[in-house]
Chains A and B, each alone.
Chain A
Amino acid sequence: MQSFTKISLLAIGISLAAGANAASDKLNIYTWAESIDPVLIEKFQTETGINITLDSYTSNEDLLAKLKSGSSDYDVVFPSQHFVKIMVQEGLLKNIDAKNMAAFKLVDEQWKNMWWDQKSEYSIPFVYGTAGYTVNRDKYKGPANSWKEFFEPTGAAIGNIAVFSTPDEIIPAAQLYLGVEFCTEDSAQMKRIFELLKKQKKDVAVYSSDNISSRIASGEVVMHNWWDGDSMRTRKNNNAPIEYAQPKEGLVGWLDSMVVPINSRNVDNAKTFINWMSETDNATIEYNYYAHSSAVKIDQSKALHQAENSPEIFPSAPIKFTQACSPAAQKLVDKVWTQLLQ
């Protein structure tokens, strides 16, 4: 029995020691699935001695829910513009005095002091892009230049569509198609959105934002809601027979920023990371890996994705950025979604 006690004390000692030495050089990052180049993580850890733990999510709603539970223990997260606004309103973000950070000088002028963070206190823009849909060209030969094909499928697409699992980008897409204002508080207009999605539902094979690349590249579904850069790198890296559609009604625009949750316990490490990621060399590596447009300056001579080989991130379709909806409008969005998935 005594030896048992000794062993347990030893074990406690070891795990306490393991926990203690890691306290100050930690950084917990919560980011979009497969968004940060593992090479960069490795490089950051060797250069700064800060240890990163990386968890991932696939929707802004997931991120908001995690932060809202008040005890998520993350240090850097990557919400899109309208969620930055909501999170600031809800008091979920730390004022990191972004405009005086080294990273801010590297931000492209067009993304400074935007409506979601007018005084540039909370956020450093990271990457931007669009949400649209991708078609598998082996299975689907029809046109892909309108949201019509996605919401009112014909031919091979019937019954073989996959849609994002959360309403954040799919409802704005439906609004573009029907010509309804984003974040409308008009219940009758939202009813039209609901009816469109309801009609589409019988052709939806799955509502999912996980594991999209294998589902669309393998042809398990022929159309999938997706993001521009993700679609492009699957096309380039895996030589997949896919095409990112250019709907004439418009693509749904987003910009992800790096922000620090209010409860972060490693704020200095978080700022170090944000500055480091924005450095031109690292931002270029990230651009080549993630394939979304960079919101900070990159080294064009090393950039793999140029306008001539990257129609996805240099779209011909117009782009409309999502907004932060009022609580009344948000309620309507949630109502459409809960009624749709019942």
Chain B
Amino acid sequence: MKKLSLNFWGLLPAYLVMSLLMVLPLLIIFYVSFMSSDPYGGYKAVFSLDSYTQILYSYDWDENLVLNLQYLKIIARTLLLSAATAIICLLISFPVAYYISRQSHTMKTLLLYLVTLPFWVSMVVRVYAWVLILSNDGVLENGLRFFGLIGDIDSLLYNNGAMMVGMVYTYIPLMILPIYASIEKLDSRLIEAASDLYSSRMNTLRRIILPLCKPGIVAGFVLVFVPSLGTVLEPMLLGGGKTMMLGNLIQNQFGVARNWSFGASLTVLLLCIVLIFLMFQARRTNLNKEFS
């Protein structure tokens, strides 16, 4: 009995904080998403499904309800860019993690330290670095011009590519670490055995190494993909505010656009996307194991 109550008291603060500061706010968001919007911000406590229909339909200038794909486009762009970010991170991370795992012990420690270090540097600063590099007359443009590689070019900033570079740069350590962990667990004798049996390197990679590293790859994918879905900073600073992602769209509804219920319905939508994705992944791997 005493043990039980100790368990109870130990977990109580965590439950309290999480239910008051995470679950309760999410329930309020859910509630607000079914209310009508107020033209000057906030919401009116009148039931309405408008904020959900608004995702797909809008009123045209003659007040007819018409299909409107603009938000769907933003959602699709968000999914695509996040998936592309995760895939690019994966393509870079796997060879890098493998390379690190083949080094001597000291070298390994050093390289892993170098991988994690940028993660400790403020995200805003890291994104700012790319503004500096890519901006008009920025470091990259001047550098390329100095070597005579380019003439006069348009800004490298303010496009999907710049945004992707920023996202890959921000999230890539989250991909390398879990993949490295699973490569470390890999028994190198398996690879040697495959080679002794005249399996080509590509074949060994495909048949042995990749399947065995799958838990790490999946964990890395989740760790990069989920935060990418909610990216706010990169589109604002590197995307120039012209190409929006779901995170910005949501933020705007609570800011200058002053449409809280629409913002809430988009938040619910984003939450659903994340939940579906996580449930899909949870079947394959135990997330909690990978997080620790």
Contacts and interface: CB of A to CB of B under 8 A. Distances in A.
A65 interface: yes
A191 B59 CA distance: 12
Given A187-B61, A187-B62, A65 B241 contact: no
A62 B61 contact: no
A125 B259 CA distance: 30
A59 B241 CA distance: 16
Interface stretch (B173-181, B203-211, B215-223, B249-257): B249-257
Contacts of B256: 59, 61-62, 65, 165-166
Given A207-B241, A338-B257, A64 B158 contact: no
B92 to A, nearest CB: 31
Contact of A334 (B42, B73, B242, B257): B257
B61 A331 contact: no
Interface string B238-268: 0011101000000000111111000000000
Contacts of B59: 335
Interface string A311-342: 00000000000000001001100110011011
A101 interface: no
B138 interface: no
Contact of B255 (A65, A90, A206, A327): A65
Given A86-B40, A206-B240, A62 B255 contact: yes
Interface string B112-127: 0000000000000000
B187 interface: no
A315 B240 CA distance: 33
B240 A330 contact: no
B135 to A, nearest CB: 10
B95 interface: no
Contacts of B42: 68, 70
Is the interface on chain A under 10, 10 to 19, 20 to 34, or 35 or more residues? 20 to 34
A316 B79 CA distance: 52
Interface string B27-41: 000000000000111
Contacts of B158: 206
A330 B257 CA distance: 11
A270 B168 CA distance: 46
A64 B240 contact: no
Interface in A171-225: 187-188, 190-191, 194, 206-208, 220
Interface residues of B, number: 25
Residue in A166, A190, A342 whose Cβ sees the most chain B Cβ within 10 Å: A342
B281 interface: no
A239 interface: no
B67 to A, nearest CB: 13
A301 interface: no
A100 interface: no
Given A62-B256, A65-B258, A194-B61, A330 B40 contact: yes
Interface in A49-70: 59, 61-62, 64-65, 68-70
Given A165-B241, A188-B61, A68 B39 contact: no
B257 A207 contact: no
Contacts of A70: 42
Given A187-B62, A187-B63, A334-B257, A65 B41 contact: yes
Interface in B65-104: 68, 70-71, 73
A65 B254 contact: yes
A334 B59 CA distance: 12
B106 to A, nearest CB: 31
Contacts of A90: 40
Residue in B40, B42, B258 whose Cβ sees the most chain A Cβ within 10 Å: B40
B159 interface: no
Nearest to A326: B39
Given A69-B254, A194-B61, A206 B242 contact: yes
Interface of B: 39-42, 58-59, 61-63, 68, 70-71, 73, 136, 158, 240-242, 244, 254-259
Interface of A: 59, 61-62, 64-65, 68-70, 86, 90, 165-166, 187-188, 190-191, 194, 206-208, 220, 327, 330-331, 334-335, 338-339, 341-342
30 contacts: A59-B256, A61-B255, A62-B255, A64-B40, A64-B41, A64-B258, A65-B254, A65-B256, A65-B258, A68-B40, A68-B258, A69-B254, A70-B42, A86-B40, A165-B241, A187-B61, A188-B61, A190-B61, A191-B61, A207-B241, A207-B242, A327-B39, A330-B39, A334-B39, A334-B257, A334-B258, A338-B257, A339-B58, A342-B70, A342-B71
Given A65-B258, A86-B40, 19 more contacts: A61-B255, A61-B258, A62-B256, A64-B41, A68-B41, A69-B41, A165-B241, A165-B256, A166-B256, A187-B63, A188-B61, A206-B158, A207-B242, A327-B39, A334-B39, A334-B257, A335-B59, A339-B70, A342-B70
